[in-house]
Amino acid sequence: MCRFCVGNLFTNQSLHAGWSAGGGAAFADGLSRRAFMAMAGATAGAAGLGLRADPAAAAGEAPADLIFKGGTIIPLAAPGHATVEALAVRGGQIVAAGTQSDIDGLKGGSTKVMDLGGRTLLPGFIDPHQHSCFMAVFAELLTDVGYTTYPTREKLTAGLKALDAKLPQGAWLLAYDFDNLLQGGDLSMTELDGISKDRPIFIWYINMHDGAANSAAFKIADIPSNVGTLPGGGHFGRNPDGSFNGLVYEESAMLKFVTKALPPITPQVFAKAMQDYFKSSAALGYTTTHEPGTVQPGWVEGLVKLTASGTGRLSASFQYDDLKAAAAYQHLGYGPKATLLPNSRFSLFGIKIIGDGSNQTLTGAQTKPYLNTTEKGTPNYSAAELKEMVAAVKAAGWPVQIHCNGDATIDDALDAIEAAYGANPAPATGLNRIEHSTMVRADQLKRMKALGVQPSFLMNHVFFYGAAYRDQIFGPERAAFMDPAGACVSEGIPFTLHTDAPCSTPGALRLVQTAVTRQCDIDKSIVGPDQAISVEEALRAVTSAAATQIGQGDRLGSLEAGKEADLVILEQDPFKVAPDEIMNIKISETWVGGEQTFG
């Protein structure tokens, strides 16, 4: 996972070309900012394509556009996973969910009846913390060589050699997602020269802050042998004799290679990447994803256009550094009033602050040392600085999201939130979130409940790194309480599950399975069995609870009259398969606003 969440490398202006001078763009076809703002002003406060229907419409005379029946329909509208026999949709919203006889009364001559054929219908999945735009660009320009693609070093080497054989002479071999913890340790220049000494090779680590290159890439990048630390902390790994070992650290160092290797990121490239992303996201059952902190204010105009129809919903929060620029969009709705921007499936929520690093790199800030070390990690900001930043977010009227992997940073974050917002501020500014909350303590959860703060857990930590947390990073006792969803259930604290993709593999069903089983994929061990939760609780964490955490609980996340018809159809019922088979359930269809986007 990431050191400082997802890096900002791909927003560096040196990699972009063809964008408007102000940074905004309509990506593909052109939509002037003046026209965009005029349209926004005319319809501010409305939900655009997602304008809610009156729940009483079910009693009217207009027939339904769609009726789903013939399978297991689980609305997740109330506690318990009660089922209904049929579901009716009109104008992109759900108008009724109930018995077959009730729904038959809404059938008209133009109504399409969708027979589920025994499949299972659920609310569409929501990832409340996923860097969708970066995922899209990575997938468009780079090749994924991560753990789920090549789980062993031997398979990785074979895969890289196969890629090399397919590329034309002189082309760069560019890849991403390499995980040094799971794929056999750091890459080296010698190892990559074994793939090719002639073709330049550059591979990003999954943390997006480190990379590795071969000798040909170092030559093209023109890195002098006596180079020191670059502005921003960029530097290069070295062998004992002082020669380069192939490792490249931080953005300023990686830019030396990336500016030579990548084609320009144009609005057209970005648009195609996003269109392809929405297709792959729908194939995973996602109807909404939330991008915290990596959407640039200048992208809003283009994302409105890209999400006009035929895509999933994209929610976004701005980075703290963009707080002033974010003010231009506040009148369109955010926080507890996170309405869709006009004529789009795009919405805004809050402001994100990155409080510390990651536990895998020992940069998450802890109150106790990491296992067998004296290292505790260091927060990115002092407690006083964080209080000032959170106060500025509150003064601007936004909810705040603070990235905290270590418990020391969580202490500082909760102090800052309490000082700025007091307790339970949701009605005024929207709920505040602690992102990842990986090593949160039991006393901190109680404090979150008192303050009305909600955690979001990167449950893939357990799936991919549970054994490493237990044996290498924290020890058994501390690792057993990592990502403690079970404690949240016991305390009555709402929480969500997210992937932080591309810093881990996307897919809601993997999160559900892991939250239910607490099984680490690496050695099949169970890490923290006391923190396991039920299938229903896990599903709510990627549907209704996730909708609430992006300010849209009133219109997304469950199958109820008046909510958007965002649906996922599964080939099997997750309540009936073995817990360790949930992630293998096939996604059959995905629907957004009554429109089929996959299947």
pLDDT recorded at residue 12? 65
Average pLDDT, the chain: 90
Instruction: Give yes or no for residue 29 having a pLDDT over 80.
Output: no
pLDDT recorded at residue 8? 60
Residues in the chain: 599
18 or 460, greater pLDDT = 460
| Strand, coil or helix: 570 | strand
C-beta separation of 23 from 296 below 8 A: yes
| 519 CB-side CA count, 13 A | 13
pLDDT recorded at residue 243? 97
Q: How many CB atoms lie within 10 A of CB 298?
A: 17
- Burial zone of 554 (CB within 10 Å; 0-12 exposed, 13-18 middle, 19+ buried): middle
Tell me which residue of 475, 437, 457 sits closest to 518, measured CA to CA: 457
The kind and range of the H/E element at 428 are helix 426-429
Q: How many CB atoms lie within 10 A of CB 198?
A: 11
pLDDT recorded at residue 309? 87
Instruction: Give the distance, in angstroms, between the CA of residue 270 and the centroid of all CA atoms in the same chain.
Output: 18
C-beta separation of 302 from 271 below 8 A: yes
pLDDT recorded at residue 47? 33
pLDDT recorded at residue 251? 82
The Cα 475–Cα 463 span in angstroms is 17
pLDDT recorded at residue 60? 52
38 or 394, greater pLDDT = 394
pLDDT recorded at residue 51? 32
pLDDT recorded at residue 42? 39
Could you tell me the end-to-end alpha-carbon distance of the chain, in angstroms, rounded to an integer?
Answer: 31
pLDDT recorded at residue 28? 46
Token code pair at residue 546: 């996730």
At 19, is the pLDDT very low, low, confident or very high (cuts 50, 70, 90)?
A: confident
Beta bridge partners of 68: 87, 114
pLDDT tens digits, residue range 430-450?
899 999 999 999 999 999 999
pLDDT tens digits, residue range 560-572?
999 999 999 999 9
- In three-state form (DSSP H/G/I as H, E/B as E, the rest C), the secondary structure along 98-155 is ECHHHHHCCCCCCCEEEECCCCEEEECEEECCCCHHHHHHHHHHCEECCCCCCCCHHH
43, amino acid identity: T
Instruction: Give phi and psi for 144, each to the nearest 5.
Output: -75, 120
Instruction: Give yes or no for residue 331 having a pLDDT over 70.
Output: yes
Per-residue pLDDT averaged across 205-214, rounded? 88
Token code pair at residue 188: 């080296």
pLDDT tens digits, residue range 279-314?
999 999 999 999 999 898 888 989 999 999 899 999
Which residues are CB-contacts of 397 (< 8 A; sequence separation ≥ 6)?
330, 335, 429
Beta bridge partners of 113: 67
- Burial zone of 235 (CB within 10 Å; 0-12 exposed, 13-18 middle, 19+ buried): middle
pLDDT recorded at residue 46? 34
Q: For the chain, what percent of residues have pLDDT higher than 90?
A: 77
pLDDT recorded at residue 274? 94
Per-residue pLDDT averaged across 36-65, rounded? 47
- In three-state form (DSSP H/G/I as H, E/B as E, the rest C), the secondary structure along 20-63 is CCCCCCCCCCCCCHHHHHHHHHHHCCCCHHHCCCCHHHHHCCCC
184 or 8, greater pLDDT = 184
pLDDT recorded at residue 262? 87
Per-residue pLDDT averaged across 479-483, rounded? 98
**Cα→Cα distances 26→35, 191, 205, 303, 530, Å:** 11, 43, 31, 7, 49
The Cα 371–Cα 466 span in angstroms is 14
pLDDT tens digits, residue range 583-592?
999 999 999 9
Q: For the chain, what percent of residues have pLDDT higher than 70?
A: 90
Instruction: Give yes or no for residue 236 having a pLDDT over 50.
Output: yes
Beta bridge partners of 231: none
At 264, is the pLDDT very low, low, confident or very high (cuts 50, 70, 90)?
A: confident
**Cα→Cα distances 119→68, 70, 218, 474, 571, Å:** 11, 8, 53, 42, 5
Task: Return the residue matching tokens 């009846």.
Answer: 113
Assess whether the previous peptide bond of 502 is cis (omega < 30° from 0).
Answer: yes
pLDDT recorded at residue 78? 85
The Cα 471–Cα 489 span in angstroms is 27
At 41, is the pLDDT very low, low, confident or very high (cuts 50, 70, 90)?
A: very low
pLDDT tens digits, residue range 65-118?
999 999 999 999 988 889 999 999 999 999 999 999 999 999 999 999 999 999
At 49, is the pLDDT very low, low, confident or very high (cuts 50, 70, 90)?
A: very low
Going by their DSSP bridges, the two strands 400-404 and 433-436 should be labelled as parallel
Task: Return the residue matching tokens 């050699």.
Answer: 161
Per-residue pLDDT averaged across 509-534, rounded? 98
Cα angle 460, 295, 45 (rounded to 5 degrees) comes to: 110
pLDDT tens digits, residue range 148-170?
999 999 999 999 999 999 999 99
Tell me which residue of 144, 137, 235, 136 sits closest to 183, measured CA to CA: 144
pLDDT recorded at residue 298? 84
